[in-house]
Structure 1
Amino acid sequence: MLRLRECVVSRLLSSSPTSSSAIFPLCRLLSAAAPHISPNPSGFAVEEYLVATCGLTRPQALKASPKLSHLNSPANPDAVLAFLSGLGLSGADVVAKDPLFLCASVGRTLAPKVAELTGLGLSRPEIARLVSLTPDRFRRRAIVSKLQYYLPLFGSSHNFLRLLKRSSHLLSSDLDKLVKPNVAFLRECGLGDCDIAKLCIREPRMLITNPERVRAMVACAERLGVPRGSGMLRQALQAVAFLSEEKVAAKLDYLKNTFRWSDAEVRIAVRRYPGVLKNTKGPLKRRSEFLFSKVGLEPMYIAHRSEILSYSMEGRLRPRYYVIKFLKQNGLLDRDLSLYSAVKMSDKVFVEKLICPHKEAAPHLAEDYAAACKGEVPTNFRFT
């Protein structure tokens, strides 16, 4: 009987949105066709149903069953499981997160939402993903109106689902009191919707926090030398988001001590690469030691090119430094190429410009560079 229900609901879900009016009689038919459960002293055995039919573990079923104690028949849960199967989901995917999903009406609630979301451009796999991520929100009335707002803001259902995976609170937060005021303010600060989407994927709470707090974050970025309208504002907000003034000050002090920067120099460094505030102490310390002792750079030079601190020590800084050093020592570099210029190149460009032209003079260079990028120290590099 459950297989029959799955077949019918699957056909129902794959039909056009305009056919949703046929849902109600079909659901009554499904309910009427439910197998009769003989009465027993304990009533409908919810816990056993959750284990045997929904696929929950015994502890999950034990936790969920009190919420479903009012059920006295498997008719509606069977219809819901058929609905989930039609979307390619199992009961265990959803019911463990939201046991009350089994109580939702397929005809009045679930199937109509599929039709409406399909009308918004979501594919069935995307709708299934939405159900899996936030089943409790899916069965609520406001989900369609909220997606009508969020989908254009984030540019695609893919971006929205990616963000929703990190924070399901988007669907429970107040659009008018929190989300829309924050979006309006960020737009006033010069961020486009694409920037806002990228910012929120990194910091999902940004849109749903108190608007005064968002204003405080922008003010903090401005104090660091990244004004509204700056192309670096998004990165600056990612760096200071939800940090107290004391923590920001501590990070600045660490940067000054580690890179021997003055107050003015640390402001220059942060303005050019705000992400330096997000780097952890260990990697920053290793970069400072390498850039000072090995490469011989000066603090002011690093401050004005602080983006160099964003690159991997093992995957980019050290291997490219050794390639440049090797080429210079062997008279194979006809120009004064800085490490900063070299690390900014894509890997493809770096290989084309600095590895490939020297295949005859340095036949092992490509192999040695690849080994160095893996953290090895190849013997064919001629170190001094």
Structure 2
Amino acid sequence: MLRLRLRESVVSRLLSSPFTSTSAISPLLRLLSASASASASAAPSTFAVEEYLVDTCGLTRPQALKASKKLSHLKSPANPDAVLAFLAGLGLSGADAAAVVAKDPLFLCAKVERTLVPVVDGLTGLGLSRSEIGGLVSLVHNRFRCRSIVSKMQYYLPLFGSLDNLLRMLQRSSYLLSSDLDKVVRPNVVFLRECGLGDCDIAKLCIPVPRILITNPERIRAMVACAERLGVPRGSRMLRHALQAVAFLNEDKIAAKVDYLKNTFRWYDAEACIAVRKYPGVLRKSKESLKHRSEFLCSKVGLEPVYIAHRSEILSYSMVGRLRPRYYVIKFLKQNGLLACDLSLYSAIKMTDKVFVEKLICPHKEAAPHLAEDYAAACKGEVPTNFRF
């Protein structure tokens, strides 16, 4: 047993070395498998899976108990040892490997030379480093056990522009790697392109809502038709935002949200249509959020409903971090004769924070020495006492 542990340690170190090529992995794994098989033949025939998961894989006892039910067919540690050595070779720590096994116990049954090594070779050919491949294993675990992952990664990488973008999607839904490319994904991409969305737009559309790409193609067409009924046609720069807003919402829910907008902001049908067309994301705002914005913009600031409808993007900004503090600053400057022009709140809100500070805070350091401090406090949700209203 001591010899086996020593060989495992040596193989793991060799696998994790940047100087060890993929072609050198197979002989090392065969050595490990042979050693493990010999050890298994000399040991009692009963393989204590649960103990192995705790002692060797590092799972907690409850995790091991749950995982062992899927591994009851294992008769020796030969293949699991080879898999653990393989994971170590990709740079996964003991804790990382334990997390993979806890999520996907059957990973220990994967055939290293027949499946895992070819997958690594394929992904390396796509330009992924060994550490990036290790991160992918931790993210998708069971999907990594399918050799089709290589062809799917080959399709997705150029579509989403970078590995980082693809990983962000996979963090939300690893089903991308199990969906049918030819029957589902490709037809959806082709249709979205026909609607005027470029690959960059498709990536931005799908990163927050990955299900859009893997849903039934007929459902995608229904989403586009819904966006068109809301006044956002194909080819519009707002189509991506509209699709995100209506994704997986039925007509009744959308109609109910439009009715709520009309009642909350005192909009007529035409004004509600304008607001949604200019800022489709308003449909995703919670009722509480919309109510607070209406009370602030209409009652506190005094903006007219039609003005808000034509500038509905204003509803996208944070009440605490943007709307209130900038309103406080503009009101303070106007009341103290420090604002040279008649700057609207909407114009001030659209400025980046850097530009806002440069144009409206910094020029008044002498006349209003506490303004920067008060503005920073207001951005944290406080209403400073030395704002003079």
Asked if 1 retains the 8 angstrom alpha-carbon contact of 2:15 and 2:85, the reply is no
Q: Secondary structure at the match of 2:253?
A: helix
Give unmatched runs, 5+ long, in structure 2.
Answer: none
Return the alpha-carbon distance in structure 1 between the equivalents of residues 29 and 339 of structure 2: 77
Q: CA deviation at 1:329?
A: 1.1
1:368 — aligned with what? 374
Cross-structure match for 2:27 = 25
Counterpart for residue 304 of structure 1:
310
Question: What does the per-residue CA deviation read over 1:23-55, in whole Å, with 9 as the maximum and x for residues that have no partner?
Answer: 4433322222226244436x1111111111111
Q: Secondary structure at the match of 2:69?
A: helix
Deviations 1:97-130 (A, max 9, x none): 1111111122222122212211111122221121
TM-score (norm 1): 0.95
Correspondent of 1:51 among 38, 43, 54 = 54
Measured after TM superposition, the shift of residue 66 of structure 1 is 3.0
Contact 1:10 1:87 (C-alpha < 8 Å) held by counterparts: no
Q: Answer yes or no: is the 8 Å Cα contact 1:183–1:207 preserved in 2.
A: yes
One-letter amino acid of the structure 1 residue matched with residue 90 of structure 2: L
Instruction: Give the superposition deviation at 1:87.
Output: 1.9
CA distance in 2, matches of 1:102, 1:226: 50
- What letter matches 2:56 in structure 1? T
Local SS of the residue matching 1:173: coil
Alpha-carbon distance, 1:10 to partner = 4.8
The answer to whether the 8 A contact 1:316-1:373 is kept is: yes
In structure 2, the residue matched to 1:98 is 104
Which one is further off, 237-246 or 48-57? 48-57
Query: How far apart are 1:6 and its partner, in Å?
Result: 4.5
Q: SS at 1:145's partner residue? A: helix
Say if 1:22 and 1:128 are closer, same or farther in 2 by CA, change over 3 A.
Answer: closer
- CA deviation string 1:290-333 (max 9, x = no partner): 11111111110000000111111111111111111111111111
- CA distance 1:119–1:6, change in 2 (3 Å): farther
Alignment RMSD, CA only? 1.7
Q: Which residue of 2 aligns with 1:261?
A: 267
**Deviation string, structure 1 residues 62-101 (Cα, Å, up to 9, x no partner):** 2222322222211111111111112232331211111111
1:302-381 to structure 2, matched below 5 A, reads 302-381=308-387
Cα deviation for residue 13 of structure 1 reads: 6.2
Work out the CA distance in 2 between the residues paired with 1:182 and 1:3.
52
- Contact 1:270–1:277, Cα closer than 8 Å, also in 2: yes
| Residue identity (%) | 78
Residue aligning to 1:86: 89
Alpha-carbon shift at residue 135 of structure 1 (Å)? 1.6
Measured in 1, the distance between the counterparts of 2:88 and 2:23 equals 21
Partner Cα separation in structure 2 for residue 222 and residue 215 of structure 1: 11
**Match for 1:40 among 19, 44, 53?**
44
Question: What is the letter of the counterpart of residue 33 of structure 1?
Answer: S
Counterpart for residue 69 of structure 1: 72
One-letter amino acid of the structure 2 residue matched with residue 45 of structure 1: A
TM-fit CA distance, 1:15? 6.2
Distance 1:28 1:367, change over 3 A: closer
Query: Could you tell me how far apart the structure 2 residues matched to 1:334 and 1:197 are?
Result: 43
Deviates more, 1:291-300 or 1:90-99: 90-99
Structure 1 residues 25 and 270: CA distance shift in structure 2, 3 A: same
Q: How does 1:1-384 map to 2 (within 5 A)?
A: 1-2=4-5, 4-12=7-15, 20-34=22-36, 36-37=39-40, 38-40=42-44, 43-89=46-92, 90=94, 91-383=97-389
Deviation at 1:197, TM superposition (A): 0.7
| Runs of at least 5 residues in structure 1 that lack an aligned partner in the other structure | none
Q: Distance in 1 between matches of 2:335 and 2:23?
A: 79
Deviation string, structure 1 residues 237-275 (Cα, Å, up to 9, x no partner): 110000000000000000000000011001100111111
C-alpha change, 1:318 and 1:22, in structure 2 (3 Å) is closer
